[in-house]
A = this chain, B = another copy of it.
Amino acid sequence: MTKPADLTPRPLNPAPPAPEFPWPNGKKSALFIGFDVDAETAWMGNRPENADRMVTTSHGGYDARVGTAKILTLLNDLGLRATFFIPGWTVEAHTAMCESIVAAGHEIGHHGYLHKCPDPTKPDEARDEIDRGMAALRARLGVTPVGYRAPSGENFAALLAYLQEQGLRYSSSFRDDIRPYRHRLPDGRPGPVEIPVNYAFDDWNFGMTSRVDPRPIFGRDAILPIWDEEFQGMHDWGGVTTMVLHPQVSGRPMRWRILRDFLAGVAARDDVWIATGAEITAHFEACETSARVAGAERDTG
């Protein structure tokens, strides 16, 4: 049971805004390439009745049959490392696919177990998702993740505390900042680092449509200018551009090419730090320790 929503005026995210700190080696901004390898869980985690609908879940099946391999090839061609957030169910259902990601040297992040949207009214379920996802990553891949991206992009205070307890050092789900910051837990203690996402880089917004969720889809001329300018703007501001990609979208032929061209453009620059979530977190933590993180004035209302 949870108590009714507390509408008392205060920042609903109690964490102070992102502090100032330098990126490594004089870089002006960071690019965090994140993939959510949901596979079928994107379609039946929150809607279990879809598990028997083979075409609906076949969108997710593309991950294991085609998409992830194509993405790995792309990253290899460009010499880039990324972070792959994988639900425990996907690890168990498609172990060989997940092993290939590990083998290619990419970071593996936690993405729940069945991709259930964290629900503040069901804290036990949310914790169970963490436990089972962690167990699957350890048992099948021998990986203990340090990063977490919320399935369906949702989170709540008690879950942040639980992430911290379980050793997850960073989260990458929030939409409220342009640079990493440290969460503050309900009891005032520091929580995980947040590497906030940029929803303009969620490929689902442009390239997924289905019977159960019809949406318009867009091509290169609509997407690449958005990505290029959003990146340039973020770069000018010294932030982190956090991508929310999915092999079942960006592993499709045209979308793979659009992603390739965007990434190649950034990779060709010498003023951008392309890093995994773990690397960004480690850098942030090191800055905190060495006091290179400037105290940010809190907006306390």
Contacts and interface: CB of A to CB of B under 8 A. Distances in A.
Interface of A: 2, 4-7, 9-13, 17-18, 40, 44, 48-62, 64-66, 70, 89-90, 92-97, 114, 117, 120-121, 150, 152-157, 160, 173-178, 196, 198-200, 205-206, 209-211, 213-222, 225-226, 229-234, 236-237, 239, 252-254, 256-257, 297, 299-301
B252 A230 contact: yes
A54 B93 contact: no
Contact of A200 (B51, B178, B217): B217
Nearest to A4: B48
B59 A7 contact: no
Contact of A58 (B64, B121, B175, B253): B175
B17 A66 contact: yes
A221 B216 contact: no
Contacts of A152: 211
Residue among A5, A70, A92 facing the most chain B CB atoms (10 A cut-off): A5
Nearest to A5: B51
Nearest to A157: B54
Closest 3 CB pairs of A and B: A233-B253, A9-B92, A61-B176
A93 B9 contact: yes
Given A95-B301, A256-B233, A175 B17 contact: no
Given A61-B175, A94-B301, 12 more contacts: A5-B44, A7-B48, A17-B64, A54-B156, A59-B176, A61-B177, A95-B301, A96-B301, A215-B216, A220-B226, A226-B254, A230-B252
Nearest to A99: B299
A96 to B, nearest CB: 5
A196 B218 CA distance: 21
A155 B59 CA distance: 13
Contact of A52 (B2, B200, B211, B239): B2
B55 A175 contact: yes
Contacts of A114: 7
Q: Which of A58, A216, A300 has the most CB of B within 10 A?
A: A58
Contacts of A153: 55, 211
A121 B234 CA distance: 45
Contacts of A173: 55
A44 B7 contact: yes
A234 B253 contact: yes
Contacts of A61: 11-13, 174-177
Contact of A120 (B53, B97, B174, B233): B53
B62 A175 contact: yes
Contacts of A176: 58-62, 65-66
Contact of A225 (B66, B209, B219, B300): B219
